[in-house]
Structure 1
């Protein structure tokens, strides 16, 4: 940086300033120079290498000093900001605590806790946080994200048993972004009349977005899947998972609206003496709660009757074989032959019990996903073992296997996750290739990126999505197949039922996870059974295997991580429910409504840019003329207020612009 001289007008010195000085010369004074000349010059010994004063060691010491100074500066800055951080956090702590508690409560509505009512309480607490006058749009994003973390982190720990804690926490964080987006949008629309209804619509929209993005979506954690044992479950037969999730959250949001209105009415009545207080606006939230309860009561008898069955419905006896795996974990793929042998052995035991009269003769048998992880179409030994089991039981067996797309019998870069029907005489017949493959498990998206981020990326498979109707015909029965991961997506079981499936099968491989994951997946199957009015057969390599009635009741089930088989009679159903017919349309109506209400909320809050109206000038007036007398030009003083008339001096999320977003009750 250039520096100016201290002297102003000294031309005589200009000729001598640039001359080189002797090492012992100091241009201070003549006396100083004479005194210095009389003194003997000091002799400095050259520092030895390795000593601290050696030139090679100077950069190291300088670096250490700079690092120490930087750390001291950062520490001092952090300490200096502590009062500001404390002042920012303390007013928000109650809302942060409630958002966190709400997320934990929503988690407890899922297996293995199964407190279905906790979802309603969670929605009520979250609504209170988002309608608080001090919660800004940024605050809504933060509180929603905190709510999502408290929900998804304890919901998905079974992922850590496969790939460790980092991918588990990364997935939970990604999922938490969607409740955060909901919180942001909820603050935008909370001033609109009937905000509990709009909150419910927004929640349905964020669940839809999470089910399609990113990498095909991750619907795991939809509120509806936590209602497998709750009284609101019959609602899923009317409008699918989207309607059930919206209804549960709407009840909680409406309860908060009623509580806020009553509290405001009580406070206003006390201030005014209780005579002229305006009645609380509880009609709309009360109607919302009543409609949800009424719809559940109306549908419940029909669902219960469907579970009991009708006399004219045909019946079949189906068996489920759970062969088990030698051990859990990623080593499952190295146990392929052992897993196949286990399922053959358990099928032979079933055949012996049938011949002994200890078990009824099934019309067909269902094996789990990956029960033969060796391609039986190109591996003669695997085909021989499957044929041996099929011949022993004497009926078709639905086998879960992995097929080489190229069919060369060598290492291929593409496989399909396939369920194939194996007949006793003719061998392989109908097949279902899994259409919705699991990212990071069955295939690796964006390998050019994720291979450098995690050492587990190379363990992902090379599965490709297949194409099928979702239905295989087994012993003349159209069976809809949703292989493991597919059951959480609305479109997979719906497609099978629309294509004529009279029974649903969910072959799954949970050997790489734990019992918590199996319990959650079983709950999803219960929701699908009620949604489509079908019996659902769940077959797992290590469990939990079960047969579920159309009312969501478990008829039989196995324990986790043990070899077993199930043998039971079920009814074939042909009726299509309203959810099977119309749920996709309802889903899109909710999404479009959410987009529309967000636009209305933005306009209500004055966030749209306003057109600038230019003042017409008299002819001849200069264009750069100043403001008229008596007016203050913009940006040069005067009153600068926000479009809402609020004060921007208050920090965000601490009540700035008190009229923005203030709860005014439902109408």
Structure 2
């Protein structure tokens, strides 16, 4: 793709002097293509190489545009991306939450479009800065989206599209923020290459930059876990029916996981399966609180006693306040020992509007439907659970998308990562999107990981991000695998927030640094208008 160059008006250090932006219909088409490319880069499509292309197309669409148009074009790209990407939310919440969430997420790409339009004078004056500016804008956009409002919603990050790409290895050096930054910089290099005809050295430089950024990470070394191993079983019990009435099937779901574990014990006794040292059940595998229901407790105990190993159970714990609950992973020990209350994790980041209602008293003035949303409380400590066989870093469902929640478990001594999730109210696309996040986390922290779901997809992930023993969707399954313990403490783990902080700082510097150029442009435009009027 070669975009038409604007006419040169004066010589200078810029690669090309400022001129008109692309025609609006062309820019709108590029914005739509950008959203489509970003969507196809993510699971379940996994065309990872389209991620930098999508970035480049949006940057081209907004370059040299007015700020309002830049925001509008970014918003258009965001709608094309997020409306189909988040369609799975309709299964559990209907069409209205889906549309509201998609509109809100698209606004952040609108801000990215606005920022691209705002910084256009920098890219015009110093073309070599264009890739860097693009990377900073995307990193800053994701920083905001991952945290606001109500704790943010990091779904659809560029980093989560790179599961099969060489760039995934960058996660070990700077986490998801570095992966996103490098992919976006590569997109900026592609745009700088295609925007106008330029000299061979400049074109070659941008082409090499993009190629090295996207392919070069394949040569980066990864120090993967190579310590002692322990056998871990994941139990995907399945549910009778997908959808919201999953909650009405609590006893059947619990029975499925108990029976599957007892069947595994029979296979172990017959020599058909290896004896696990730990069994992991998914989120909501017992929506009946076993600390308050003796029947549920007896069933879980029977499974633990049969398999002769502790079970990490996903359950809901009621409180003495009606309606208040915790979403927890609790360790259930065999031999009649029962629940180990010192080894449990309460989900720290409940999902707003789904697991709790922000500003409930204000929302109630609009509709009484807000009281249909339960009040899930957040925990106050990382999910570090000592099972005896391994120290587990446990996160629950959407928490795998949040950098700090996963990192806190590794800082707390986690030897392996576990993601307990329940996809019964979603679909296979959502499950695959979650699994892509698990792959990145394994590489990021040098820890082998697993994801276990009520209905799938479940599986194990090694320290290089490869998936093993992946299960089907909407089916029962049990998988046992030896997991390596005690991986390396990666640079990403050690550096913590610093890579993203540097990216955000660079974004702020760029947004402020363009002010002198924009003032100069405004003054020149004003002088041109004055001269024209005098003539």
The separation in 2 between residues aligned to 1:416 and 1:205, in whole angstroms, is 33
| CA distance, structure 1, for counterparts of residue 232 and residue 201 of structure 2 | 57
Say if 2:227 is the partner of 1:292: no
**CA separation in 1, counterparts of 2:183 and 2:366?**
38
Q: CA RMSD in A?
A: 2.2
2:445 aligns to what? Answer: 532
Q: Distance in 2 between matches of 1:285 and 1:460?
A: 51
Task: Decide which of 180, 190, 214 is 2:120's aligned counterpart.
Answer: 190
Matches within 5 A, 1:187-586: 187-192=117-122, 193=126, 194-261=129-196, 263-264=197-198, 281-282=202-203, 285=206, 288-289=209-210, 292-293=213-214, 295-299=216-220, 302-303=221-222, 306=224, 310=226, 313-406=227-320, 412-425=322-335, 426-429=337-340, 430-451=343-364, 457-586=370-499
Q: Which runs of 4+ in 1 moved over 6 A?
A: none
1:109 aligned onto 2:41? yes
In structure 2, do the counterparts of structure 1 residues 332 and 647 end up closer, same or farther at CA, with 3 Å as the change threshold? farther
Higher Rg of the two aligned structures: 1
Is the 2:277–2:389 Cα contact (8 Å) retained in structure 1? Answer: no
CA distance in 1 between partners of 2:33 and 2:522 (Å): 35
SS at match of 2:519: coil
Structure 2 equivalent of residue 157 of structure 1: 87
Q: Which moved more, 1:120-129 or 1:367-376?
A: 120-129
Mapped contact 2:154–2:402 kept (Cα < 8 A): yes
**Any idea what SS the aligned residue of 2:299 has?**
helix
In the TM superposition, what is the alpha-carbon distance from 1:476 to its structure 2 partner? Answer: 3.9
Closer, same or farther in 2 for the Cα pair 1:175/1:541, shift >3 Å? same
Q: 1:6: which partner in 2?
A: none
Distance, in Å, in 2 between the alignment partners of 1:642 and 1:484 is 50
Per-residue deviation, residues 548-607 of structure 1 (Å, max 9, x unmatched): 111111110111111111111111123111111114111111111111110111232019
Tell me how far 1:405 sits from its aligned partner: 2.9
1:297 and 1:343 mapped to 2: Cα distance?
40
CA contact (8 A) 2:88 2:427 kept: yes
Q: From 117, 120, 124, give the equivalent of 2:52.
A: 120
CA distance in structure 1 between the aligned counterparts of 2:526 and 2:114, rounded to whole angstroms: 20
Structure 1 residue matching 2:329: 3-state secondary structure: strand
Contact 1:160 1:167 in 2 (8 A): yes
Equivalent residues of 1:111, 1:519 under 8 A apart:
yes
CA 1:288 to 1:190, structure 2 compared with 1: closer, same or farther past 3 Å? farther
Structure 2 unaligned blocks of 5 or more: 1-21
State the SS of the aligned residue for 1:127: helix
Q: Distance in 2 between matches of 1:492 and 1:642?
A: 45
Alpha-carbon distance between aligned partners in 2 of 1:196 and 1:554, rounded to the nearest angstrom:
32
TM-score (normalised: structure 2): 0.89
Equivalent residues, number: 501
Q: Match of 1:605, SS?
A: helix
Long gaps (5+) in structure 1 = 1-89, 266-278, 608-640, 650-656, 658-667
**1:176 & 1:453 partners in 2: Cα distance?**
24
**Retained in 2: the 8 A contact 1:369–1:419?**
yes
Deviation at 1:648, TM superposition (A): 9.3
Instruction: Give the drift of 1:459.
Output: 3.0
How far 1:442 moved relative to its partner?
A: 1.0
Match of 1:645 among 514, 520, 525: 525
Give SS of 1:149's match.
helix
Are the structure 2 counterparts of residues 217 and 314 from structure 1 closer, same or farther at C-alpha, using a change threshold of 3 Å?
A: same
Q: Go from structure 1 to structure 2 and tell me whether the alpha carbon gap of 1:116 and 1:238 turns closer, same or farther (over 3 Å shift).
A: same
Matched residues in 2 for 1:459 and 1:358: separation?
46
SS of residue in 2 equivalent to 1:376:
coil
Please, which moves more after superposition, 96-105 or 572-581?
572-581
